[in-house]
Structure 1
Amino acid sequence: MTAAKVDVRKDLDSYRARSGRFRLLDVPPRRYLAVDGAGDPNTSPTFTAAIETLYPVAYGLKFASRDAGRDYVVPPLEGLWWADDIAAFTSARDKSRWHWRLLLLVPEWLGPDDVDAATAAAAAKGAGPRLADLHLEDLHEGRCVQTLHVGPFDDEAGVLRRLHCEFLPAHDLRPTGVHHEIYLSDVRRAAPDRRRTILRQPVE
């Protein structure tokens, strides 16, 4: 019998969230493909290039793993976002001041050698305009609060204000890491009002 494909959106608790509910959870250490950048994601060519770099390597990893007998669904795109002033996210929404790190999860049974091979294969095909900037990121978030946002990205501001100004103080929590988003919907296909995004904040 062929083993079922692993799908982190179904198999891992940290990829589950409900709209309108903030949930505390512990996120174990995980490893990601990562590309960094800064500026407005809607206008920055480096942002688009980062996405175009991550996916060829991610699919190379998937196909190599499948050929070795363990198949999986390529995980959803994720992003870490930060700015010198939190208001750049929660009220001003000044995207020109944002910094970001785009991520794609690497399954735990794959290691750096597998990533090197997939990166070399992408380079040989001329895929990935920012392969020189691609790196592995080990993320140790630990205790987090997360929720599901349904709708346009620019409507996240109200949810983030409630998180930082209401939920965290009410539960005697404070942020310890940067804002993390998990894009459950394909932004190229989903209408803005139907986009499903997990919003996560590491806390203590």
Structure 2
Amino acid sequence: MDFSKVDFLSVNEGLCVQCMHIGSFDDEPDTVSAMHQFVKENGYTLDFNDHRWHHEIYLSDPRRCDVQKLKTVIRHPIRIRG
């Protein structure tokens, strides 16, 4: 396999909100909405910029796992609202 296009990087993410989403990727918008509601209700705001992004960590292999058991960590950068 050609891994020449793979990059390894270290990221200092700072303050984030994250959630373990279990289930289909198609259902992720509901999880993201719940995360954003949590952020709003707890005095934070989203903090996306050129260096802080939405990202996902896939813990399950969709080729080998039932779609309803897929596990994905969803992470968004936040900061204290103010």
Could you list the per-position Cα deviations for residues 138-195 of structure 1 after superposition, in whole angstroms to 9, with x for gaps in the alignment? 211021111111110010111111222x111111212222112111111210011110
Residue of structure 2 aligned with 1:189, choices 45, 50, 64: 64
Report the CA distance between 1:136 and its aligned residue: 3.0
Greater RCO structure (CA 8 Å; 6+ sep):
2
Structure 2 letter corresponding to 1:148: M
Task: State which structure, 1 or 2, has the greater radius of gyration over its C-alpha atoms.
Answer: 1
Partner of 1:180: 55
Is the partner of 2:74 in helix, strand or coil? strand
Q: Distance in 2 between matches of 1:184 and 1:135?
A: 19
Q: Distance in 1 between matches of 2:8 and 2:65?
A: 29
Identity of aligned residues (%): 35
State whether structure 2 residue 77 is matched by structure 1 residue 202: yes
- Does the 8 Å CA contact 2:21/2:28 hold for their aligned counterparts? yes
Partner of 1:158: 30
Task: Provide closer, same or farther for how the CA distance between residues 190 and 160 of structure 1 changes in structure 2, counting only shifts above 3 A.
Answer: same
**5+ unaligned residues in a row in structure 1: which ranges?**
1-126
Could you list the per-position Cα deviations for residues 99-135 of structure 1 after superposition, in whole angstroms to 9, with x for gaps in the alignment? xxxxxxxxxxxxxxxxxxxxxxxxxxxx21x61x333
Partner of 1:168: 39
State the superposition RMSD in angstroms. 1.5
- Does the 8 Å CA contact 2:19/2:35 hold for their aligned counterparts? no
- Does the 8 Å CA contact 2:53/2:76 hold for their aligned counterparts? yes
Q: Distance in 2 between matches of 1:135 and 1:152?
A: 27
Structure 2 letter corresponding to 1:173: Y
Q: Distance in 1 between matches of 2:6 and 2:23?
A: 30
With the length of structure 1 as denominator, give the TM-score of the two structures. 0.34
